[in-house]
Structure 1
């Protein structure tokens, strides 16, 4: 899914200045595998991520992003962690920081495929064979797989 219209509207007003946005990460499990997407912008493998639309519940956004990016239906089982991301700058100069809500999720149905232009590949990976990824993303996966009942809160 391309950049949401509400973000484009904000960017017309503030340019590339820093935006503080709500985000979600869906760590989708199927038995002992995790569903990952390979981003088309930087070719890195990541769990499913996205922006929460205005008025949308974060758990609903996680399920929506999974469907939009990979074509699979999931159950959102629990909130695994909450924390601000490292500030980032995109190739076009846009800057953002996300308040990420990571959810531990379970695959329900559907064959995973590249369902939008944000990804170039999707795949199921055994937990012990995950590809290299940014440490913040790996920490989100670890929180989702921890089995902990309470959510983790990222410390400063």
Structure 2
């Protein structure tokens, strides 16, 4: 995924050092199944989401991210939780160290049809909690899915 102009301006100042960035995550579910997407950069499965841009509310950001990645505007139902710490810290292939703090929202899609944004995503799939544990995934999503399933 391309780096936002805001993050690029921060990287110009701090180089590869740790940046703590705010993000959003969409938890989209159909009965006991959750929508996951396999990311092009890591080839791992995760939830739909991304960074919050300057001046954007978390709610606006999750609507924008889902709209960009799936081509459909979601309906936000509630906050599932907030997540961060070591599980959401990573070193990117270019050496940049980033830590995310993300607010997860339970979202619904107005219809089942969506269009995959293939610059960032390889594919999507519906998984139960048990099925999701058997795939190559970002492990921090386990906590989000557990909280959403309650």
With the length of structure 1 as denominator, give the TM-score of the two structures: 0.84
- 2:47 matches 1:47: yes
CA shift for structure 1 position 82: 1.0
- For the aligned residue pairs, the C-alpha RMSD in angstroms reads 1.8
Worse-superposed segment, 57-66 or 122-131: 122-131
Q: 2:145 aligns with which of 106, 119, 141?
A: 141
Say if 1:126 and 1:24 are closer, same or farther in 2 by CA, change over 3 A.
Answer: same
Q: 2:101 aligns with which of 99, 102, 106?
A: 99
| SS of aligned partner of 1:112 | coil
| SS of aligned partner of 1:135 | coil
Deviations 1:22-73 (A, max 9, x none): 0111111234432111011111111112001111111221111111112222
Q: Is the 8 A contact 2:129 2:145 kept in 1?
A: no
Residues of 1 paired with 2:61 and 2:118: CA distance? Answer: 16
CA shift for structure 1 position 112: 2.7
- 2:81 matches 1:114: no
Worse-superposed segment, 101-110 or 127-136: 127-136
Q: Is the 8 A contact 1:104 1:145 kept in 2?
A: no
Residues of 1 paired with 2:40 and 2:111: CA distance? Answer: 24
Residues of 1 paired with 2:112 and 2:13: CA distance? Answer: 40
CA shift for structure 1 position 135: 2.8
| SS of aligned partner of 1:114 | coil
Say if 1:95 and 1:24 are closer, same or farther in 2 by CA, change over 3 A.
Answer: same
With the length of structure 2 as denominator, give the TM-score of the two structures: 0.87
Structure 2 stretches lacking a partner, 5+ long: none
Say if 1:122 and 1:112 are closer, same or farther in 2 by CA, change over 3 A.
Answer: farther
Q: Is the 8 A contact 1:73 1:109 kept in 2?
A: no
Higher strand share: 1
